[in-house]
Structure 1
Amino acid sequence: MGLAVNLCVSFNPTTSTPAQGRKCKYEGQSVRALPIRILSVGKKRSRGLQLMVDEYVDKLRYYCSVEDVQIRPNPRNAREQKAQVDAEDEAMMNLIRSDDWVVMLDERGQDIGSEQMAELVGDAGNTGASRLSFCIGGPYGHGSKMRERANVSIKLSSLVLNHQIALLVLMEQLYRSWTILKGQKYHH
């Protein structure tokens, strides 16, 4: 599958530093709003986190349909780390369709800014895909099948984020992306 470099002209293959201060190429244009599905591996969420996730889901639904799907960590109760990752990988792969545009969140992924995230959302609408799927792995990351399947691999921060924090940052950035795409003022 293609790398992020093939998807967005804003990605620079020689550096992981996002282009600062540049406008999104889709700003103010009509963008095909793909349904968004967020797949995340993790234990039961705290009430506070779930309230914040639900708030962003409500905000995002103004722009596109959003689905928040939780995958149980270590679904086969494996003792080995690799077996755990493989089981989580398989569970996630079973939820991805062949016509999904898959964005994998990974600490080794492309480092992108908010404008580039907006472009990623806009570009995905031009791929012919029927859905945009964002995938957040468990404590040990993603398995080999997900790495092969992903159309794009991004990181949300140079810091390693707990999967629950990554989920919240992703939701906030997707909302911010749509305000950028629509040329609207960002409301907290």
Structure 2
Amino acid sequence: MKIKVIAVGKTDSKQLSELIHIYEKRLGFYVNFELDIIPDIKNSKNLSEAQQKEKEGELILKKLQPTDVLVLLDEGGKSFSSIKFSEYIQKKMNAGTKQLVLVIGGPYGFSETIYQKSQGKISLSAMTFSHQMVRLFLVEQLYRAFTILRNEPYHHQ
């Protein structure tokens, strides 16, 4: 299985980018992993919230393959403990999922088209985080999930 994370907008913080890269590299030992950044929408100040979500949605759709399993990071999604998240990843692998695509939306979330196309939603927390921070949290949790599945000493109960 391949895991692809699509994120809208670049990360402004060099420190955050470095941390994300560390976990991207670590993930490479366990799974074919890709972080795909969609550039910020140009002239977004001239767009309504709905128009911005639509434009971002169109760009997300262009990155998808017909067989992809699309899961959105959304505050209204299902919450997991780290162990339950690792079990979720294992189930996706066992089901023969070719590519699991996890999407971190822009500041306003997702267009209705993206919600309709998705096959699930995951919430990392009931709290709101910047979409830049969510990238770090997600890649770390993916890494943690694989160390749990391999019984490696990264995660402590």
TM-score between the two structures when normalised by the length of structure 1: 0.77
Q: Deviations over 1:32-88 (max 9, x none)?
A: xx1111100013432111111110011100101111111123257452110000000
Q: Does 1:36 align with 2:3?
A: yes
In structure 2, the residue matched to 1:62 is 29
User: Could you tell me how far apart the structure 2 residues matched to 1:137 and 1:76 are?
Assistant: 18
CA contact (8 A) 1:76 1:87 kept: no
Structure 1 residue 89: deviation in Å?
Answer: 0.8
More moved, 36-45 vs 101-110: 36-45
In structure 1, the residue matched to 2:65 is 97
In structure 2, the residue matched to 1:172 is 140
The equivalences for 1:1-188 within 5 A come to 34-75=1-42, 77=44, 78-186=46-154
User: Could you tell me how far apart the structure 2 residues matched to 1:176 and 1:54 are?
Assistant: 15
SS state at 1:157 partner: coil
User: Could you tell me how far apart the structure 2 residues matched to 1:79 and 1:94 are?
Assistant: 21
Task: Give the counterpart letter for 2:57 in structure 1.
Answer: D
Task: Give the counterpart letter for 2:150 in structure 1.
Answer: K
In structure 2, the residue matched to 1:16 is none
Q: Detail structure 1 runs of 4+ shifted over 3 Å in the superposition.
A: 75-78
**Structure 2 CA distance for partners of 1:104 and 1:94, relative to 1, 3 Å:** same
What is the count of residue pairs matched by the alignment? 154
SS state at 2:58 partner: helix
Structure 1 residue 128: deviation in Å?
Answer: 3.1
CA contact (8 A) 1:41 1:88 kept: yes
CA contact (8 A) 2:11 2:132 kept: no
CA contact (8 A) 1:74 1:85 kept: no
CA contact (8 A) 2:11 2:17 kept: no
Task: Give the counterpart letter for 2:110 in structure 1.
Answer: H
Identity %: 31
Structure 1 or 2: more helix by fraction: 2
Structure 1 residue 129: deviation in Å?
Answer: 2.4
User: Could you tell me how far apart the structure 2 residues matched to 1:74 and 1:81 are?
Assistant: 12
Q: Deviations over 1:105-133 (max 9, x none)?
A: 00111111111111111111133321111
User: Could you tell me how far apart the structure 1 residues matched to 2:12 and 2:65 are?
Assistant: 26
Structure 1 residue 186: deviation in Å?
Answer: 0.4
Question: 5+ residue gaps in structure 2?
Answer: none
